[in-house]
Amino acid sequence: MERETKRRLEAYRRNEAGPIENSLIDELANGELDRAEFIRRGAMFGLAATTIGAGLRVFGEAPLARAGVLSPAAGGRLRLGINPPPAKGLDPQPTPTWAASRPAASPGSSSRARRTA
């Protein structure tokens, strides 16, 4: 496993990594960066989490911590903050339609007469 991880990290450095990423990995290898600073800078420069983990594993850092699974406690009370319903019933106000709100045309005028004038 260790040999395969090291081989993949070296292939990444040769084929994909730029000078910034290679410098960051070199600083970790030389002991200039601690684990937290390597993770912080790696994330800042866009290194993938798998690359950061591989770098830490190759250079002897402890594996990343993993969260344990907790089972939920039985029983208890669920409290929700819900707005109460309105005190009175909802009375929707009707809105006039476009045709009903349009002023009526005078009997002698037509829309055709207005267009040709």
Identify whether the C-beta of residue 16 lies closer than 8 Å to the C-beta of residue 72. no
Per the domain annotation, does 45 fall within a domain?
Answer: yes
Per the domain annotation, does 42 fall within a domain?
Answer: yes
Per the domain annotation, does 79 fall within a domain?
Answer: no
Relative orientation angle of helices 35-44 and 49-58, to the nearest 10 degrees: 150
In the prediction, which pLDDT does 114 show?
A: 52
| Residues with pLDDT less than 70, the chain | 1, 61-68, 84-93, 95-117
In the prediction, which pLDDT does 18 show?
A: 85
The predicted model scores a pTM of 0.48
Per the domain annotation, does 76 fall within a domain?
Answer: no
SS3 of residue 95 by DSSP: coil
Per the domain annotation, does 91 fall within a domain?
Answer: no
* Count of structural domains, the chain: 1
Per the domain annotation, does 25 fall within a domain?
Answer: yes
Q: How far is CA 76 from CA 72, 73, 79, 82, in A?
A: 10, 8, 10, 19
Query: Residue 1 and residue 90: Cα distance in Å, rounded?
Result: 68
Per the domain annotation, does 29 fall within a domain?
Answer: yes
Query: Residue 25 and residue 13: Cα distance in Å, rounded?
Result: 9
- Domain extent at residue 20: 2-58
Per the domain annotation, does 12 fall within a domain?
Answer: yes
Query: Residue 54 and residue 16: Cα distance in Å, rounded?
Result: 15
